[in-house]
Amino acid sequence: MLISLLQMQPVSGDVAANLAAIAKAAEAAAVMGAELLVTPELSTTGYALGSRFSELAEPRDGAIVTALAEISKECKLAIAAGFPERDGEVVYNSAVVVQPERPAEFYRKCHLFGDMEKQAFLPSARQPHVFDLGLFKAGMVICYDVEFPEMVRMLALAGADLVIVPTALVACVGNRRVSETLLPARAMENQVFIAYADLCGREGDLVYEGHSVIAAPDGDYLARAGSGETLLFARLVPGDYSGLKAELPYLAERRPELYADVARKN
């Protein structure tokens, strides 16, 4: 499966402009034959919005998800995108995967990063789940979630071979190590593909890291962005890494009874 990944600079608070950018990328990806376009965390609204998220948040059947579904059908490819999700009086930092022939899949961020997110959103208490995406079993986490190893391991144990990670990573020395070091390690230790799509440029006082990456189950980069806007492509073939699990049987040789004992003692 050929996948594409959009590293984009958001237009803060302008849903129409951000959806237009996603549609343009989807059209380009479709021309290249891609079956999936992954876009960043809160790519439909921008990230540095604080209290404005309450105004822009929409339910799952709202205009944002409806527009993404229409783009997906027109371009004949799946699209992953972040949006602020309203559920009654509560707002979540959410992501959706829309597909032309299947129901939408949703995920709400579990690990909120920093005061801005914690003031704007409620953290989810629901585990990520696995769903069908072309020939793949896929799952989603959002940005800071992937920095907790249990999240990706949970998806790998549930059968995922592709993990989609919409991201809004702020630029600093420590955060550069997330895409350079942590993401390839997370892919290798769980033997999954990871598509990590970051924002870029500046939004208000925030400067984003960029450096989005598509990582292979052996930890290699299949594609990697610089600091500016770009559209990455990589071809994922599940069977290409079938021998890796025999060489490095991390999942098969886990001893969870040991880890559970450590957790209880601490």
pLDDT at 262: 55
- CB count within 10 Å of CB 137 equals 18
- Tell if the pTM clears 0.85, that is, is over it: yes
pLDDT of residue 216: 97
Structure confidence at residue 264 (pLDDT): 54
Whole-angstrom distance, CA of residue 209 vs CA of residue 226: 9
| Active-site hit among 35, 58, 109, 200 | 109
Of 41, 85, 117, 203, the active-site residue reads 41
Residues 6+ apart with CB under 8 A from 104: 60, 65, 69, 96, 97, 98
pLDDT, residue 153, reads 97
Query: So what CATH class is 2-239?
Result: alpha beta
Look up 109 and say whether it is catalytic.
Answer: yes
Contacts 24+ apart (CB under 8 A), 61-67: 62/86, 63/15, 64/15, 64/19, 65/96, 65/98, 65/104, 67/19
Per-position pLDDT tens, the chain of length 266: 999 999 999 999 999 999 999 999 999 999 999 999 999 999 999 999 999 999 999 999 999 999 999 999 999 999 999 999 999 999 999 999 999 999 999 999 999 999 999 999 999 999 999 999 999 999 999 999 999 999 999 999 999 999 999 999 999 888 889 999 999 999 999 999 999 999 999 999 999 999 999 999 999 999 999 999 999 999 999 778 888 988 999 999 999 989 876 545 55
Burial level of 12, CB count in 10 A (0-12/13-18/19+)?
middle
Which residue out of 143, 200, 203, 209 is catalytically annotated?
Answer: 143
Domain range annotation of the chain: 2-239
